[in-house]
A and B are shown apart, each in its own frame.
Chain A
Amino acid sequence: EAGVAQSPRYKIIEKRQSVAFWCNPISGHATLYWYQQILGQGPKLLIQFQNNGVVDDSQLPKDRFSAERLKGVDSTLKIQPAKLEDSAVYLCASSPWGEVRNTIYFGEGSWLTVV
């Protein structure tokens, strides 16, 4: 079974530039998550999709971050304009729907450095 795919793995940009990350979840997984993990901290949920609808985006800085999952499969996370404090690993994860106690599968992460 193919895992959660993310790209790019590494990205370095200057502040005020824009960046986009892509995620392809495990086939058939209805729920998709984007997490931000700053060095030395645990992951923080940015946005959760159920199919192509947003379930939770309460911690997404909507002035600069946006995410979409148009066809309920893959997803993109965009940052525009980037700030130095956006330097982090952006993790995509997916899980199936229908049970409360589903496991969750993480991608390798996209490492962003803003200089």
Chain B
Amino acid sequence: KNEVEQSPQNLTAQEGEFITINCSYSVGISALHWLQQHPGGGIVSLFMLSSGKKKHGRLIATINIQEKHSSLHITASHPRDSAVYICAVKRIQGAQKLVFGQGTRLTINP
């Protein structure tokens, strides 16, 4: 079993819909990252969380340390949000090593 699991693996929605991507992990962590990867592009860090909730524009990320679960929400989704969203956790043990989920491929249709 992977230490970081994301769901769903693929998500297709219509423009304007509210999107939720989930991430569950099984190890002790010091931080959790949400990353965005566009086709042909590199990875952009969206959020780094260690507790609570963060908001940036239409993106909201939450984390529940006790339940070892995080969610990424996109409000008023737009076709330009189409990308792969990756959850990655920084283990408490080990020298700043990130463990990645397999990613969620999001497609927003106009």
Contact = CB atoms under 8 A, between A and B. Distances in A.
A83 to B, nearest CB: 23
Contact of A103 (B48, B100, B101): B48
A30 to B, nearest CB: 10
Nearest to B94: A56
Given A42-B86, A100-B30, A105 B45 contact: yes
Interface residues of A, number: 27
A86 interface: no
Contacts of B22: none
Interface stretch (A43-51, A61-69, A70-78): A43-51
A42 B43 CA distance: 11
B95 A56 contact: yes
Contacts of A33: 98
Q: Which interface class (under 10, 10 to 19, 20 to 34, 35 or more) fits B?
A: 20 to 34
B76 interface: no
A106 B43 contact: yes
Contacts of B101: 42
Contact of A41 (B30, B98, B102): B102
Contacts of B48: 101, 103
A101 B30 contact: yes
Interface of A: 4, 6, 31, 33, 40-45, 48, 50, 55-56, 91, 93, 95, 100-109
17 contacts: A40-B102, A42-B88, A42-B101, A43-B98, A45-B97, A48-B96, A95-B96, A100-B31, A100-B90, A101-B30, A103-B45, A103-B48, A104-B33, A104-B98, A106-B42, A109-B42, A109-B43
Given A50-B95, A104-B33, 20 more contacts: A4-B42, A31-B96, A40-B102, A40-B103, A42-B4, A42-B88, A43-B98, A48-B96, A48-B97, A56-B97, A93-B43, A100-B90, A101-B48, A101-B50, A102-B96, A103-B48, A105-B45, A106-B43, A107-B42, A109-B43
